[in-house]
Structures are given as structure tokens and as C-alpha cells.
Amino acid sequence: MNRDFYLDLAAKGIGMPIGTHLILHEHQDHAAIVQDGYRLGQVVEEAARRFRMPLAFPLMDLRLEKEALLLARGVAPDSVDGYHFAEIPIEEGRFLLTKTMGAVCGAIRHIAENTELIPIGMSIGPFSLMTKLIADPIAPVYLAGTGATRDDDTEVALVEQLLKLALFTIRSYLDAQIEAGAKAIILCEPAANTVYFSPKQLAVSYGVFDRYVMRNNLLLRDQLHRRGVDLIFHDCGELLDGMVQRFASLDPAIISLGSSRLLWEDAALVSKSTVLYGNLPTKQFYSDSLMSEERVRQLSEELICRMREVGHPFVLGSECDILSVPGSERAIMAKVEAFLRTARSKDL
Amino acid sequence: MNELHPLTKAIIDGRRKEVPNLVKQCLADGEMAGDIVEKLLVPGMALVGDRFKRNEVFVPEMLMAARAMKEALNILEPSLVAAGVKPEHTAVIGTVEGDLHDIGKNLVAMMWKGANIEVIDLGVNVAPAKFIEAVRLHKPRLVGLSSLLTTTMPAMRTTVKAIRDAGLSVGICVGGAPITHEFAKEIGADGFAIDAGGAVDAAMALLQRKD
């Protein structure tokens, strides 16, 4: 789409929660809905209408790609969650569109064919997927940062092979979502953060970050561009400025960051053609003592005013998917509504 | 400042491959296995924990140090068993039911081992009944509960309540990305650790309090 579409959204001063999970869990049979493309599409539509958003955000479930990668390699369905590769797998171009992925694509198709909303797809990023496939991903990434190669260290070799498998799976899933009608893709790399990459090591060189995170995300960005699909990049992890600069170099339409970042400072790191999105601490919305409605209003006002001061295109939103916490749904929804009211307020 | 022993320095720097020879050299020099743990390994991990709290090192460096320590303990284990040397304290740790994340829990387990606590790791997605069974079996002084997801915080509350309802006298320490001191208090936990570095302090405070 034309980049002006996103810049216009920012100029309108709307608020946009990624809140499909919250709406989904208002339905008693939510577990069945996520397996049914049409019904999931209705929930995605319901979330967009309830929050008055032109973008139909999908349900954020970053487990789907691991399941697809493992099922395609014969891992038993009940072993998927806890499965970790101990040995280097053979690189094979096998992709299985799982039932849940099929439902996601079905939901996108529903939005594309039956509504005026913009259908949005989603995928975990290759680095974050790799971290789910190995018991201890941190050590080999660190070793690679010290210069260890796949020939020196079997764990490094395992990580590099799994990155290839992850990239293949994600590429295939993106193609399926684009075929279904996605006009933009939210690419989530929450593990590309200071837990997995030592700031001490990155202070010397970003080599390992560039090889393990940026290289594959650039390939995905190019894949989207070739299909005329926009990139929305998301990382709610603890980040360094250098990481934000690198993500911004992907030239996403929107960049979504976690609440640990000060967006008005990040504005200097990001091109004005990229909308900054976020980053209210929605993970704390379940608790009134941690985050009251009044505090949500204050934070919203501060974000809006400060982003206006720096003059960067900005959409007020959540720092991640707003999860439904059993027993806290009303508290969470009240705060979502509070920030939406603040975003729409003409008094600011 | 005293010059650090080469083994302590290798632990701090996470130079795992150098550790076996350094441990063997210590044993060849007549050092007792228990003394190697107490005087060379535990202080090294304590120093790493301090540096982590001061933001001088980060999770990867801490993890590399913990791996080096594990390497040393693997070599020393037969000698420790033969000499009847056991860690003073035992802890049970796990990620609560419904949550499959283990990095934070693993780091805390490693740091606790580095502080010479025997750690029984129950893994991820651990049901309250499994915690209770482990406490009855291993009789730890400490239980660690981890949760990364906001959605699994209620499971942490349920687990604390189940352990209390079972009448087990054990200190419960909780932690994880969404967990706060207020939440820990609210659900009746005895301790809270904001990160893996702070987990050792929280554990020691509980272990000493129970003494």
C-alpha cells in the first residue's frame, strides 16, 4: 500500500490496540474458534470494529511456526511444545500449513473478501523461532559473537542450521498469508534483545546480530516488497539503540516497540516515513495496583504530547498483544478503552 | 585486590573448555573437592552475580559462567560424593502450569547451583501437584516458581496456595517478567527476585530466615 496510508493514520491521532486475544476470550469456545478460519475472521473483524481500527490485526500466536516446522519433520503433535533439537537436522524444503495456520489464513481471507478492513498477517521472526527450537540458544549465540564458527562448535552449527529451517518455514507461511489476502505482515522478533545478545559484546561489534537477526529479516522484507505487502516490525524485548537503528533500516511501514523504550527518543533513530507504534505497558493492565486507569491516561497523554513535540508519525498502542488474563478481563478492557479515549480526545 | 585463582577466573570469564584441566590441576595439587567448590567456584559465581547487578555483565556472560561452573561440578561430583560432601541447602524450581518458558528459570537454577544449593529442576508447565510431590520427596527449604506470561500468573497464585494448603513448610520465591514485588506479596509468596542475579540474594534471605 501507499506509505501515506500509515502516515495518515498517524496524523488522525487514532489509538490501536493489538487486542484480538482479548476479544477472542470473550467467546466461551475460543479454543474451537482458532481452528476455524471463518469464525476467527469474524473475531478479528469484531476486534477491529470494537476498537475502531482500519487495520484488522490477527491473533498473535507465535507458537504456530514452531509447530509447523516440527510437524513437517515428523515430530508427534503432543511433543511439539517441549521439543528441542539436540542434533543438527538435515536441511529440507518441507513446509506443512497446519490447521491453525490454515485458520489464520482463512481469517485473513474473510477480512479481505467480506470487509473494507485492511487484512494483516503475522509471523514470528527467524531468530525468535530458532530460540524456540533449541534448549539453550543463548550460549551458542554468545560463542558466535566471540568468533566461533559452525566448524569450531557444534552448538553454533546447530543454531545456524535451525536459522535456515526457520527462515524457510516463515517464508512459506508468509506466502500462504499473502495468498489469502494479507496487505501487511507483522514480523515479530521479540527474542532479538539484550537477553540473547550481550550488550557488552555488541559494544565491540554487531556482527553476530547482523548475521543472525538482520540478514534473514532483510530477506523477508524483500519477499514482502516483491509481493507489494507492507512490513510492520515488532520487538517488545529490551533493546539497545543500535538494535532499533537496525530494525528501522528495514524501512518498515510501522515499527512497534516494547514499553522499555522511550519512543520520543527513538524517533531520532527512525525515519519519518516509518510510523512509531506503541508502547503502553499493556502487560501490566491486568493489575489496578500496578497500572491504574488514571496512570494509563497519564502515560497516553505523555506519549501523544511528546511524540507531537518531536514531530514523528505516531500511533498510540499496546506494547504487544493485549492478553486476556483469566479474572482480569474487565480491568484490562477498561484500560484499553481509557487509552483509546485519550487518543481520540480533542483536548490534547 | 587479591589475585584470583586461575580456576575462579576461568569461571568468571566463562571459559568452559579450560575448566576441566584447571580442576584436575587443583585436585592433583591436593585440594579437597569441597574446598574447590567453596573457595574457588562459589566466589567466582558470586562475583559474576555482583557484576550482573551492576550491569557490568549481562545474561549471556552469566550463562557462560554458569556453564563453566557446571563443567567443574561434573568433574568434582565423584569426589564430592565419595567424601560425603553435599550442598547445605536444597531447592525445587519450575515454571508454572501453562507456561513453557524456561530461560529465566534455567538461569535462576544455574545461579542457585552456583551458590552451592542443590537444585531439583522440574522443568516447564509444572502442575501444582507436581511441586507438592517434589517438596514431599526432596524436602527442600526453598521452592522457586517462574512465569513469563501474564496469562500464567494465576497459575502461580494457584501453585502457592496449593503448597500452603498442603501444609508444607517451605520458603517460596517467585519471579519472571510480569511478576512484581506487590504481586508476590499478594499471592502469599515469601520472596521475589527481579532477575537471576537477585535470585541468589532472595534465596539466601529466605534460607537464613528459616534458619
pLDDT tens digits, one per residue of B108-132: 998 898 888 999 999 888 999 999 9
User: Among residues of chain B, what percentage have pLDDT more than 90?
Assistant: 65
Strand arrangement of the beta sheet that strand A15-16 belongs to: A15-16, A314-318, A275-280, A254-257, A230-235, A184-188, A118-124, A55-56
Contact B145, B94 (CB under 8 A): yes
Task: State the amino acid at position B21 in one-letter form.
Answer: N
The DSSP code for B96 is: B
Q: Which of left, alpha, beta for B15 (phi over 0: left; psi -120 to 50: alpha)?
A: beta
Lowest mean pLDDT across A128-132, A134-138, A209-213, A296-300: A134-138
Name the residue with higher pLDDT: B59 or A159.
Answer: A159
Long-range contacts of B27-36 (CB under 8 A, 24+ apart): B27/B76, B27/B79, B32/B79, B32/B83, B33/B76, B33/B79, B33/B80, B33/B83, B33/B85, B34/B80, B34/B83, B34/B85, B36/B7, B36/B72, B36/B76
Cβ–Cβ contact A287 with B under 8 A: yes
Confidence of residue B151 (pLDDT cuts 50, 70, 90): confident
Subunit contact A138:B154, Cβ cutoff 8 A: no
Residue B29: the pLDDT is 96
Interface test with B, best of A198, A236, A324, A328 (most B CBs within 10 A): A198
The rounded distance, in Å, linking the Cα atoms of B130 and B158 is 13
Cβ burial, residue B46 (10 Å; 0-12/13-18/19+): middle
What ipTM was assigned to the predicted interfaces of this complex? 0.89
Q: What is the mean pLDDT of chain A?
A: 95
Residue A348: the pLDDT is 66
Q: Which of B179, A298, A58 is nearest to B202 (CA)?
A: B179
Strand arrangement of the beta sheet that strand B117-121 belongs to: B117-121, B89-95, B142-146, B171-175, B191-193
* Pick from A142, A286, A326: CB nearest B64: A142
Cβ–Cβ contact B179 with A under 8 A: no
β-bridge pairing A230-235 and A184-188: parallel
Subunit contact A82:B60, Cβ cutoff 8 A: no
User: Among residues of chain A, what percentage have pLDDT more than 70?
Assistant: 99
Cβ–Cβ contact A138 with B under 8 A: yes
pTM of the model: 0.91
Residue B196: the pLDDT is 81
Other beta carbons within 10 angstroms of residue B69's beta carbon come to 26
A68's enclosing H/E stretch is helix A64-71
**B11-57 per-position pLDDT tens digit:** 999 999 999 999 999 999 999 999 999 999 999 999 998 999 899 99
Task: Provide the grid cell at A199.
Answer: 550488550
CA distances for B68 relative to A21, A51, B60, B154, angstroms: 42, 51, 12, 36
Cβ–Cβ contact A327 with B under 8 A: yes
Subunit contact B183:A287, Cβ cutoff 8 A: yes
Instruction: Name chain B contacts of A323, Cβ cutoff 8 Å.
Output: 149-151
Collapsing DSSP to helix, strand or coil, A61 comes out as coil
Confidence of residue A346 (pLDDT cuts 50, 70, 90): low
The rounded distance, in Å, linking the Cα atoms of A237 and B58 is 15
* pLDDT, mean of residues B162-179: 93
Residue B210: the pLDDT is 47
Residue A347: the pLDDT is 65
CA A340 from centre of chain: 21
Contact A285, A291 (CB under 8 A): yes
The DSSP code for A255 is: E
Domains and CATH numbers, chain A: 3-343 (3.20.20.210)
How many contacts does A have with B, using Cβ atoms within 8 A?
66
Look at residue A168 and tell me whether its pLDDT is greater than 50: yes
CA distances for A287 relative to A291, A296, A297, angstroms: 6, 12, 15
The rounded distance, in Å, linking the Cα atoms of B192 and B199 is 8
Name the residue with higher pLDDT: B109 or A255.
Answer: A255
Residue of A nearest to B196 (CA): A195
Collapsing DSSP to helix, strand or coil, B78 comes out as helix
Q: How many residues does chain A have?
A: 348
Cβ–Cβ contact A203 with B under 8 A: no
Lowest mean pLDDT across A38-42, A51-55, A66-70, B120-124: B120-124
Q: What is the b/e burial string over B134-155, where b = at least 16 CB atoms within 10 angstroms of the residue's CB?
A: bbeeeebbbbbbbbbbbbbbbb
CA angle centred on A47, ends A344 and A341, rounded to 5°: 15
**A263-294 per-position pLDDT tens digit:** 999 999 999 999 999 999 998 898 888 899 99
Collapsing DSSP to helix, strand or coil, A136 comes out as coil
DSSP of B152-170: GHHHHHHHHHHHHHTT---
Residue B170: the pLDDT is 95
Subunit contact B151:A323, Cβ cutoff 8 A: yes
Residue B90: the pLDDT is 95
Q: Determine phi and psi for B123, rounding to 5 degrees.
A: 90, -150
Interface test with A, best of B59, B70, B125, B152 (most A CBs within 10 A): B59
Look at residue A261 and tell me whether its pLDDT is greater than 70: yes
Instruction: Name chain A contacts of B187, Cβ cutoff 8 Å.
Output: none
The minimum CA-CA distance between A137 and chain B, rounded to whole Å, is 9
The rounded distance, in Å, linking the Cα atoms of A295 and A277 is 19
Subunit contact A290:B153, Cβ cutoff 8 A: no
**A126-142 per-position pLDDT tens digit:** 999 999 999 889 999 99
* pLDDT, mean of residues A191-211: 96
Look at residue A233 and tell me whether its pLDDT is greater than 90: yes
- Runs of H (alpha helix) within chain B: 6-13, 19-28, 33-35, 42-53, 59-82, 103-114, 128-138, 153-165, 181-186, 196-210
Lowest mean pLDDT across A226-235, A247-256, A330-339, B106-115: B106-115
User: Among residues of chain A, what percentage have pLDDT more than 90?
Assistant: 89
